[in-house]
């Protein structure tokens, strides 16, 4: 719910069976959120006093346990965002700044299993990671072969590959994380 007097969002969850607000999660200064698979958990990002999204939490619905802090980004130039893949198999965590961009995945079926780095790039790069039938798809405007591009394009990589071995394929040639396509 938006608190217009204080200019921030408050997070609360309503039990649709009873109509009552759940005891948790309850948080102020929430910038965005994503549901885990089957609605068992809720990921949410909280801003600091300067409205910089910087802390990622996971709340297990129906549990009395405290919400788990998954990421706390102390660098004032780094911002955190989260969203679901279209198939809700993963939550994608975007960590970006003026010096770098990173994308992590969280398995929605196992929300406390940790974050896996799947892409790392230059600053100010736009990208969206999606999942479909065992593949990750990256929609981005990242430089190709060291050359900036004015267009977005799609790359694909198998989900079952470690970050340091991941090869993003697309547009007739492979772009490797380690060589930035050169």
pLDDT in tens, 35-65: 998 888 999 999 999 999 999 999 998 898 9
Residue 38 has a pLDDT of: 82
The residue among 152, 115, 156 whose CA lies nearest residue 135 is: 156
Whole-prediction pTM: 0.84
In DSSP terms, 62 is beta-bridged to none
Q: Is the pLDDT of residue 8 over 70?
A: yes
Q: What b/e sequence results for 122-138 when a residue is b if at least 16 CB atoms lie within 10 Å of its CB, and e otherwise?
A: eeebebbbbbeeeebbb
Residue 171 has a pLDDT of: 54
Domain ranges of the chain: 2-176
d(CA 42, CA 61): 7
The residue among 42, 52, 45 whose CA lies nearest residue 28 is: 45
d(CA 2, CA 73): 24
The predicted-structure confidence for 70-115, as pLDDT tens digits, reads as follows 999 999 999 999 999 999 999 999 999 988 899 999 999 999 999 9
Domain 2-176 is of which CATH architecture? 7 Propeller (2.130)
Residue 83 has a pLDDT of: 97
Residue 182 has a pLDDT of: 42
pLDDT band at 116 (very low <50, low <70, confident <90, very high): very high
The predicted-structure confidence for 131-176, as pLDDT tens digits, reads as follows 999 999 999 888 877 788 888 889 899 988 877 777 888 854 444 4
Phi, psi values for residue 163, rounded to 5°: -55, -45
Q: For the purposes of burial, counting CB atoms within 10 Å of the CB of 18, is it exposed (0-12), middle (13-18) or buried (19 or more)?
A: exposed
Strand segments (E) across 85-152: 90-96, 101-107, 116-121, 127-132, 135-140
């Amino acid at each position: 719910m938006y608190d217009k007097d204080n200019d921030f969002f408050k997070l609360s969850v309503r039990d649709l069976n009873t109509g009552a607000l759940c005891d948790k999660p309850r948080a102020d200064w929430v910038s965005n959120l994503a549901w885990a698979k089957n609605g068992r958990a809720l990921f949410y990002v909280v801003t600091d006093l300067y409205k910089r999204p910087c802390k990622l939490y996971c709340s297990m619905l129906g549990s009395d346990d405290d919400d788990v802090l998954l990421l706390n980004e102390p660098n004032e130039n780094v911002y955190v965002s989260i969203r679901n893949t279209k198939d809700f198999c993963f939550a994608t965590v975007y960590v970006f700044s003026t010096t770098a961009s990173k994308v992590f995945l969280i398995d929605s079926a196992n929300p406390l299993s940790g974050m896996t780095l799947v892409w790392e790039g230059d600053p100010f790069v736009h990208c969206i990671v999606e999942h479909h039938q065992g593949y990750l798809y990256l929609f981005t405007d990242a430089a190709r072969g060291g050359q900036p591009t004015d267009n977005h394009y799609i790359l694909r990589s198998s989900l079952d590959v470690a970050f340091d071995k991941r090869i993003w394929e697309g547009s007739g040639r492979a772009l490797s994380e380690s060589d930035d396509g050169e």
